[in-house]
Amino acid sequence: MTYGIWQRALGSHQTNAYLVYDEETREALIVDPGDEKKKIMKVVHEKGLKPMGIILTHGHWDHIGAAAALRKQYDCPLMAHKAEAKLLATPYYNHSNERDLRLAADVGLEDGLRIPFGSHALVVLHTPGHTAGSVCLRLENAPVMFTGDTIFSDDVGRTDLYSGSDAQMKNSIRKALRDWGDDWMLYPGHDAPAMMADVRAGLERHL
């Protein structure tokens, strides 16, 4: 069974939103719908997809802006790590300011949780550092990882915002360097995808 990945940089911060879907059943998961809900809905319609859930890699405003509308549109659960609850619910912490974003996840994610769609699944890796509840999402049985704002193609996420931790970020980087294959394609929250082999040296400089 094959899978598809759709990616688009949306909103003022050009945050990558993703649709990952089963090519046969058309079941899909929406990852980090930060803004421009109509663009995401258009692609869902054009591809004939059936959203089974919305996953947030963390709770900052530029990753969550369209989540509530899409949850209502597709009547599917919103998922985020349990440690993101306060950040999601508090505009001051998620930096939504005048947009006043206040969300509560329907499903609290934890390390190792498997989220199925069609014959595939995303597996949650808790990678705190950028925020306490930041996660990466491994596509089961494929060399694909959605990294949110934990790891970019040429940098790592900042750790100076609410619930961020430099020590936790370094620990998450160490685990990635130890466990992730060089042939894995990383799909980050901002900028272009990159192979793990190409970002490895940069990650080591952050330790």
pLDDT band with cut points at 50, 70 and 90 for residue 31: very high
What is the rounded distance in angstroms from the CA atom of residue 186 to the CA atom of residue 146?
6
Q: What separation in angstroms does the CA of 43 have from each of 11, 108, 142?
A: 16, 27, 23
Average pLDDT over residues 94-120: 97
Helix (H, G, I), strand (E, B) or coil at 17: strand
Helix (H, G, I), strand (E, B) or coil at 141: coil
Q: What is the pLDDT of residue 145?
A: 98
pLDDT band with cut points at 50, 70 and 90 for residue 98: confident
Domains of the chain: 3-204 (3.60.15.10)
Residues linked to residue 206 through DSSP beta bridges, in sequence order: none
Q: Are 85 and 105 in contact (CB under 8 A)?
A: yes
Pseudo-torsion of CA 188, 12, 21, 172, nearest 10°? 20
Q: Are 31 and 137 in contact (CB under 8 A)?
A: yes
